Amino acid sequence: MEGRNTQKSGLIHKMIVALLTVAALISGLGFFRGYMESHISQKDYEKLARMVDLEETAAETRKSRETIQTATGGAAAKEPYRSPIDFEKLSEINPDVVGWIRIPDTNIDYPIVQSHDNDAYLHMSFEGEESSAGSIFLDFESQKNLRGYNTIIYGHNMKNGFMFRDINLYKDETFFKEHQYFEIYTPRETIHLKAVSCYYIENTPEVRRTRFRSREAFEEFVQKMLEPCEYGEIPEGTITGLYTLVTCSYEVDDGRTILFAVETDENTWKTE
């Protein structure tokens, strides 16, 4: 009887080990699949960026114009805005595109899309494919032209460092101070931005406010949003709009890292 019990116990042990092994394999395969999926998705975004980047062409146009201007001694003629991003080509791929965000010295260099809700692009790439990385997307209640009181942009915090992962770098004061300036491009204009605050919080709907009963109410909201960052910079003067970049954060349950930015003068952006 004792031998049978020992044999039965050994069989159960082997079954448990086998089940745990299978579970580990499934988990590992799931992780590998997710990693490969996000890696492929990132490669697609990098290819897309190269395809629609008109910066080199724009630089050549500016150089040619400056050469003619110098040679003729004429005044600079006001040229129509030419985006460094080929939005016509982007719109052919996805008509939901509303802008492009680029932050120097980070992996953030992506198109921004907007849908009728905030679920559509959580797990869908810019090309419309299922993807764990999703897309960088504008809150459905923010203005499409990115000119509302609170322009809210979301992106996943991918472990491989892509999408909005690098937003978390701004929680380091040194990085924050050295990388405050970045840009958002639209078909109509370039919006020059300056980071003014960054911190993590538990997920709260208050950050998503886009409507305010008055400018005074909006200014109170801005003050409240920016204050928690001990090294942040609350701008002086009137703030016409707040740019709120949101990604997941793991310091607390259901946490979010929020990077706040405001529009700044282009000359200031270039010289600081």
* DSSP codes joined into one string, the chain: -HHHHHHHHHHHHHHHHHHHHHHHHHHHHHHHHHHHHHHHHHHHHHHHHHHHB-HHHHHHHHHHHHHHHHHHTPPPPPPPP--SB-HHHHHHH-TTEEEEEE-TTSS-EEEEE--SSSSTTTSB-TTS-B-SS--EEE-TTS-TTS-SSEEEEE--B-TTS-BTGGGGGGGSHHHHHH--EEEEE-SS-EEEEEEEEEEEEE--GGGG----SSHHHHHHHHHHHHTT-TT----SS----EEEEEEEESSSTTEEEEEEEEE--HHHHHH-
Question: pLDDT tens digits for the chain (272 residues)?
Answer: 555 555 555 555 555 555 544 444 444 434 444 444 555 577 888 888 888 887 654 444 444 444 434 554 555 556 788 899 999 999 999 999 999 999 999 999 999 999 999 999 999 999 999 998 999 999 999 999 999 999 999 999 998 899 999 999 999 999 999 999 999 999 999 999 999 999 999 998 999 999 999 999 999 999 999 999 999 998 888 889 999 999 999 999 899 999 999 998 765 545 55
This prediction's pTM: 0.78
